[in-house]
Chains A and B, each alone.
Chain A
């Protein structure tokens, strides 16, 4: 079984400041790792994912996350946030096998970017 911990439920940050949203996971098997984002009044969208290869993965809108196996972490970072980044962010894992296994989510972190 897997579990995901997002330590911060809310993160307020000023526009153009850096941000880090923390995610730690626990699993007895190898996993894939994901960050999903939910903008206000919208559904969940995949932001980025780690499947294999380079431990640093990037999204098209400037976010990046680094898989750290020894610390079982997958923290999300952005060097300079925009107002439009205000959303709820979810870290998730799934078992590494056929690729069609359920996601296990953290509780989410609500990022509020302040002008």
Chain B
């Protein structure tokens, strides 16, 4: 069974540009989470989908971040416009009940 996949693995963009990160959860997992790790700091929760609905988006830093989950399958996280402080590693995780399975992360660098 395939694990959680994320695309791209790395992205380097200039300040002011737009980037879209994608996460494909494990098939059948209703719960999908986005987390972010800024360099030197802890991994922080961004938001939680249950199927296509946003269950909790309390961790989203501001309205430059937009997350969607089309049809309850894959999810995208768009950053528009990107700022320098958005640099970090963005992790996606999925779960059916309980244990969260993480993807390899997308390393975003904003220059």
Pairwise interchain contact A99-B4, C-beta atoms closer than 8 A: no
**Quick one: closest B residue to A94, CB to CB?**
B100
B1 within 8 A of A: no
How far, in whole Å, are A42 and B97 apart by their CA atoms in the complex?
Answer: 23
Partner among B31, B44, B59, B103 whose Cβ is within 8 Å of the Cβ of A100: B31
Q: How large is the interface on B (under 10, 10 to 19, 20 to 34, 35 or more residues)?
A: 20 to 34
**Residue A63 is within 8 A (CB to CB) of chain B in the complex:** no
Contact assessment for B91 and A43 in the assembled complex, using a CB-CB cutoff below 8 Å: yes
Rounded to whole Å, the gap between the CB of B58 and the closest CB of chain A is: 9
Q: Which of B4, B55, B100, B101 gathers most chain A CB within 10 Å?
A: B100
A45-66 vs B, CB cutoff 8 Å, 1 = contact: the mask equals: 1100101000000000000000
Among the 9-residue stretches A19-27, A67-75, A76-84, A105-113, the one with 4 or more Cβ atoms under 8 Å from chain B is: A105-113
Give complex CA distance A68, B99 in Å: 21
Residues of B within 8 Å of A105, CB to CB, are 35, 42-44
**Number of residues on chain A facing chain B (CB within 8 A):** 21
Contacting residues of chain B (71-102) with chain A, CB-CB under 8 angstroms: 91, 93, 95, 97-102
With CB as the reference atom, state the residue of chain A lying closest to B101: A46
Residues of chain B lying within 8 A (CB to CB) of residue A92: 43
Q: Does A90 contact B (CB under 8 A)?
A: yes
Instruction: Check B59 against A102 for contact (C-beta < 8 Å).
Output: yes
What are 13 A-B contacts with C-beta separation under 8 Å?
Answer: A36-B102, A44-B43, A44-B91, A100-B31, A100-B55, A100-B95, A100-B97, A100-B98, A102-B45, A102-B59, A106-B42, A107-B40, A108-B42
Listed in ascending order, the chain B residues whose CB lies under 8 Å from chain A are: 3-4, 31, 33, 35, 40-45, 48, 50, 55-56, 59, 91, 93, 95, 97-105
Residues of A that sit less than 8 Å from B by CB = 4, 36, 42-46, 49, 51, 90, 92, 99-108
